[in-house]
């Protein structure tokens, strides 16, 4: 399976290069960066600190995808949608870890996925996706007797808030409790905001330093509290998950999938 990586010369891109090289059946066949990037034309293997791969960094996604089977995309929703459009025209698969999609952008991605297989997941970590499964079961067991709060921490360069992972955690819990996440999510408390409603799911965000990513969901009852947490200690786990998704997507038809599909957790 020939893999192209967008943003290949960045921090996440370099980790993805290593993950693809370490995965069975995958090879790095393309490396894309923005127009004007200082490392355009350089060998991505040298940039990543491994042997030269004979793959030069390019700013032409369409030309690069002619020699690749699947694109790994960790960018932003508007960029991802543009990449999906190009890949759909070329009949190429996409694995995307981009976050911050609006409902309209998500709907647009689903349209492209009618033509090609797309894994679109807010978090590629195997551990985080295990947490999603645990959250669903925990919420079903506890029901409406426990208040739910989601707290997430990330580095000070992260642009979206709350994180896509935190939102997905809130959605999983809300769905298990028979609630509409968009109606019960509470992103802001300040001043005399009144008592906490029994149905709401609090979403709290912390930004600072170089925190890779931490998420905790609190189920808070009378006299007891359950916490389900995940702490990312490096970006390698996201990269390994993306490589695993590339191995899996090769055997899928057109459609939109997530890591729960990849890991057979549904």
Catalytic residue set = 154, 158
User: In the numeric block, which tokens belong to residue 236?
Assistant: 């390698």
Non-local (6+) Cβ contacts of 251 within 8 A are none
Write down how long the chain is.
Answer: 266
The residues with which 214 forms a beta bridge, in sequence order, are 153, 231
3-class SS at 224? strand
Q: For residue 237, report the phi and psi dihedrals to the nearest 5 degrees.
A: -65, -35
Phi first, then psi: give them for residue 147, nearest 5 degrees: -75, 145
Cα separation, 189 vs 112, whole angstroms: 38
Between the alpha carbon of residue 69 and those of residues 10, 80, 93, the distances in Å are 21, 17, 6
Q: Is 234 exposed, middle or buried (0-12, 13-18, 19+ CB in 10 A)?
A: exposed
């Amino acid at each position: 399976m020939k893999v192209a990586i967008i943003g290949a010369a960045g921090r996440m891109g370099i980790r993805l290069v290593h993950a693809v090289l370490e995965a069975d059946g995958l090879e790095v066949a393309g490396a894309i960066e923005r127009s004007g990037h200082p490392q355009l034309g350089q060998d991505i293997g040298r940039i990543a600190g491994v042997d030269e791969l004979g793959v030069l960094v390019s700013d032409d996604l369409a030309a690069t995808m002619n020699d690749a089977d699947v694109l790994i995309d960790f960018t932003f929703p508007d960029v991802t949608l543009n990449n999906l459009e190009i890949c759909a025209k070329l009949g190429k698969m996409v694995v995307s870890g981009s976050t911050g999609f609006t409902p309209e952008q998500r709907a647009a991605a689903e349209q492209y996925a009618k033509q090609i297989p797309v894994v679109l997941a807010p978090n590629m970590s195997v551990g985080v996706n295990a947490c999603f499964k645990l959250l669903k079961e925990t919420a079903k067991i506890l029901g409406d007797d426990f208040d739910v709060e989601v707290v997430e921490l990330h580095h000070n360069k992260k642009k979206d808030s709350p994180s896509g992972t935190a939102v997905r955690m809130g959605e999983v819990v809300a769905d298990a409790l028979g609630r509409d996440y968009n109606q019960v999510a509470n992103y802001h408390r300040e001043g005399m905001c009144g008592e906490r409603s029994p149905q709401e799911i609090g979403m709290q965000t912390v930004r600072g330093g170089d925190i890779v990513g931490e998420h905790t969901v609190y189920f808070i009852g009378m006299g007891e509290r359950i916490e389900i947490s995940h702490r990312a200690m490096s970006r390698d786990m996201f990269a390994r998950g993306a490589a695993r998704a590339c191995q899996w997507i090769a055997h899928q038809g057109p459609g939109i999938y997530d890591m729960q599909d990849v890991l057979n957790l549904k």
